[in-house]
Amino acid sequence: MKERIERLKKLTYIPQKEIAWLIEQAELSVKQREIIEENKRQQDVTVHQFRQAQKDIQHLSGDRKRYKQALEKIITNLNFAITVAKNELEGDAK
């Protein structure tokens, strides 16, 4: 392709066949540029979605940790209440 372009630069008259080839190459270049731009846009969207997912995971991990701690406190309090109730029942039984 490079050689063909150099050969065309040297011509004073460009044959119809060569003009058609130039037009075809220009159209191809435009299509390739559009594809590259669309791929870049899709890549940007994917990066944004990935970063958002990371933030969501961090947020959910924090929520999970808080819920787990709250649940552990509830279980501890329930175990304590069960122990107190057992002691009272044993005391009433004696």
The pLDDT mean for the chain works out to 89
Tell me phi and psi for residue 15, to 5 degrees: -60, 155
Which range of residues forms the domain containing residue 33? 2-93
pTM listed for this prediction: 0.53
Q: What percent of the chain has pLDDT over 70?
A: 97
Q: Give the pLDDT confidence of 39-50 residue by residue, as tens digits.
A: 999 999 999 999
Asked if 18 contacts 8 with a C-beta cutoff of 8 angstroms, the reply is yes
Q: Give the pLDDT confidence of 46-67 residue by residue, as tens digits.
A: 999 999 999 999 998 888 888 9
Handedness of CA 74, 75, 79, 80 (dihedral sign): negative
Query: Could you give the CA distance from residue 91 to residue 93 in angstroms, rounded to a whole number?
Result: 5
**How many folded domains does the chain comprise?**
1
pLDDT at 28: 94
